[in-house]
Structure 1
Amino acid sequence: MSEWDLRKLRILRTLRERGTVTATAAALHMTPSAVSQQLTTLAAQLGVELLEAHGRRVRLTDAARLVLAHTEPVFEQLERADAALAAYAHGDAGEVRVGAFPTSVPALVVPAVRALRDTHPQVTVRVRETEAAEAYRLLAAGDVDLALSLAAEAPGAADPRFTHVPLLTDPLDVALPPDHPLASAPGLRLTDLAAEPWIYGGSGPWSDITRRACEAAGFSPHQGHSASGWTAILAMVEAGMGVALVPRMAADRRAGVALRELGADGPVRHVVAAVRSGGAAAPATARVLQALRRAADPAFEG
């Protein structure tokens, strides 16, 4: 029987997540030579090659991916064991590190934290604002315990590393200058704005969301200006420089911008929470998930 070393398997798992030996070493507070040595020893213990040269870097072999596929349930069970020990030792007390994309912080995380102060004051939430896609990388690396992200950025549903909890469907409204001819037009549709200059980021999830929404409506948006922060985007809309899609949970109802709903068929984004498989059993994490679900839907009972 092969000799399975969990510490070395964690190093291999982190290499899969981080991509390079140097990044793996930084994440685990090790030296690159120590990472390489540990993986060489693991390969000898298992009797298979785990790494192969790929240019100036290394990549995982098929054998390494097979090893990790079979050890993921072990890591999940260890998460459950940690959760059970936490429940035994601390009950509901504990710290939960949350990685959350920017607009979810004021809309979901802050209300959840306020509610927890009243119901479970021994649960501490430490927030790390990050982009939606980066939240999953932080979760996989163990840098956060819970990630708030968008379903469009989530790994495949079959990925065994994570458990997902849907939170809400967030409609996208269109922001127009208040004196725009269509600012008060009935039955506004995205196609009515096909010829307008659009304001959105040059890259990243919001750029993708805007492009996909407009293309689904039948046109490619002309990017008049590039910005990623809502303050800048809405200020440019207010100045008459273009139009923009704005998530309703992030909308700043400023007087100088007309925000119009696009109806039942308008574009939406899906907000989800994610934990490492098995991690939802930790009492403090379960309390934070519960508070987030209530912040997303006050009618939630759980």
Structure 2
Amino acid sequence: MDFKRLRILRELADRGTVGATAEAMNVTPSAVSQQLKTLQEELGVVLVEKSGRGVRLTEAGLAMAGAAAEVSTAMARAEATIDTYRRGWQTRVVAAIFPSAAEMFLPGLLHRVKAIEGLRFEAHFEDPGVAGFAGLTADYDIVLAHSVDGPEVFGGQGLAVVPLLEEPLDVALPAGHALAAKATLCAEDVVGFPWMGVPEGFPFDTVLRQIELRAGSQAVRAQQFPDLRVLEALVSAGHGLSLLPRYTAVSNQDRGFVLRPLEGVKANRSIVALARPDVAARTTIQQVLAMLKAEAQAVAEAPQQRDAAHRIRGQAAADFIM
């Protein structure tokens, strides 16, 4: 059984079309089709069948694609073992990172990468909805993803999931807002004000829906924009409230907004690193994942972050006295 043909089957399972598979493997679509036909003949079972203008994997095809992924993982682990003897490794690591994670992790991570001679780390902007992160692992070694439903939302997809950080989501208010005098806020406090939100399908919108359910009232989504810095600017200008991740927003409060913790609603996001299991088994990728975990820990344990909730509440008390 030719391992290259198994790889083609696995890529087809991940990418969905012969054309996308051919492009990923740098071969022609006809070569992909021929290799799949040969593999079917070798195994004596139908792996691929026509579906409309394209193809889809049969039950046997899906099972073999899963087996191919396991073979790739085993081979990657074998290569990682050899690395410890011949010191060979992957010199270029390509990652997909959404903006606020890049702001938190990338500066420190690049310092860590510099300590390893010959290692090159490339970060690329990607910020799909939650359902879109897993698919990016077909094109990137590591994908940083986030969800308000916990790390487990990324399980069950055949990927290595590495939890990095749990980050609270706070309500951002204009500095002179009437609610700024309160140390904490609840859904009933905030639901009646205009909201500067994110488009439907982005994680923070799920929290706003929880606020609506808790308060029994619908929020006014005055603006929807998928950029946290734009949301900060809109809140600072007095246009409404927003949900912002604490660790990336707390140091920007001098721009004209304040943060207040939200109680009674699950308001935090889980940040994880995703990778295909065979990619995650590589020596270099294991090293970079360890660096990401260390950087995430450093962010969470930084004095200005660890004490953020206390400072937010203290600021509310000071605003009330004034």
Same fold judged by TM-score > 0.5? yes
Q: 2:35 aligns with which of 34, 38, 41?
A: 38
Partner of 2:240: 242
Partner of 2:116: 120
Partner of 1:7: 4
Task: Give the secondary structure class of the aligned counterpart of 1:103.
Answer: helix
CA–CA separation in structure 2 for the residues paired with 1:269 and 1:195: 24
Aligned counterparts, 1:77-92, within 5 A: 77-90=74-87
Partner of 1:232: 230
CA distance 1:156–1:230, shift in 2 (3 Å): closer
Higher percent of residues as helix = 2
Partner of 1:105: 102
Q: Contact between 1:91 and 1:283, CA under 8 Å: does it hold in 2?
A: no
Aligned counterparts, 1:15-94, within 5 A: 15-90=12-87, 94=91
Shift of 1:112: 1.6
CA distance 1:280–1:216, shift in 2 (3 Å): farther
> Alpha-carbon deviations, 1:135-172, whole Å to 9, x = none?
43232x2x32222112558765344x322221110100
Shift of 1:257: 1.2
CA–CA separation in structure 2 for the residues paired with 1:92 and 1:12: 26
CA distance 1:281–1:187, shift in 2 (3 Å): same
Task: Give the secondary structure class of the aligned counterpart of 1:125.
Answer: strand
CA–CA separation in structure 1 for the residues paired with 2:123 and 2:152: 20
CA–CA separation in structure 2 for the residues paired with 1:87 and 1:209: 45
* Counterpart residue identity of residue 113, structure 1: L
TM-score (norm. length: structure 1) = 0.85
When structure 1 is superposed on structure 2, of 147-156 and 216-225 the one drifting more is: 147-156
Shift of 1:57: 2.2
CA–CA separation in structure 2 for the residues paired with 1:91 and 1:41: 34
Q: Contact between 1:101 and 1:135, CA under 8 Å: does it hold in 2?
A: no
Q: Contact between 2:49 and 2:55, CA under 8 Å: does it hold in 1?
A: yes
Partner of 1:137: 135
Q: Contact between 1:113 and 1:125, CA under 8 Å: does it hold in 2?
A: yes
* Counterpart residue identity of residue 6, structure 1: F
CA distance 1:52–1:97, shift in 2 (3 Å): same
Partner of 2:313: none
> Alpha-carbon deviations, 1:196-237, whole Å to 9, x = none?
222223234235434444246344433111111122211111
Task: Give the secondary structure class of the aligned counterpart of 1:298.
Answer: helix
CA–CA separation in structure 1 for the residues paired with 2:266 and 2:92: 39
> Alpha-carbon deviations, 1:224-260, whole Å to 9, x = none?
1111112221111122222111112331334311222
Shift of 1:91: 5.8
Task: Give the secondary structure class of the aligned counterpart of 2:183.
Answer: coil
Q: Contact between 1:148 and 1:272, CA under 8 Å: does it hold in 2?
A: yes
Task: Give the secondary structure class of the aligned counterpart of 1:274.
Answer: strand
> Alpha-carbon deviations, 1:162-186, whole Å to 9, x = none?
2222111010011111222112223
Shift of 1:61: 1.0
The root-mean-square deviation of aligned C-alpha atoms, in Å, is 2.7
CA–CA separation in structure 2 for the residues paired with 1:224 and 1:101: 24
CA distance 1:299–1:177, shift in 2 (3 Å): closer
Q: Contact between 1:101 and 1:149, CA under 8 Å: does it hold in 2?
A: yes
State the aligned residue count: 293
Aligned counterparts, 1:107-256, within 5 A: 107-117=104-114, 119-131=115-127, 133=130, 134-139=132-137, 141=138, 143-151=139-147, 152=149, 156-159=154-157, 161-206=158-203, 208-215=205-212, 217-219=214-216, 220-251=218-249, 252-256=252-256
* Counterpart residue identity of residue 289, structure 1: L
**Unaligned stretches of 5+ residues in structure 1:** none
When structure 1 is superposed on structure 2, of 32-41 and 255-264 the one drifting more is: 255-264
CA–CA separation in structure 1 for the residues paired with 2:278 and 2:14: 19
CA–CA separation in structure 1 for the residues paired with 2:254 and 2:165: 24
CA–CA separation in structure 2 for the residues paired with 1:215 and 1:35: 50
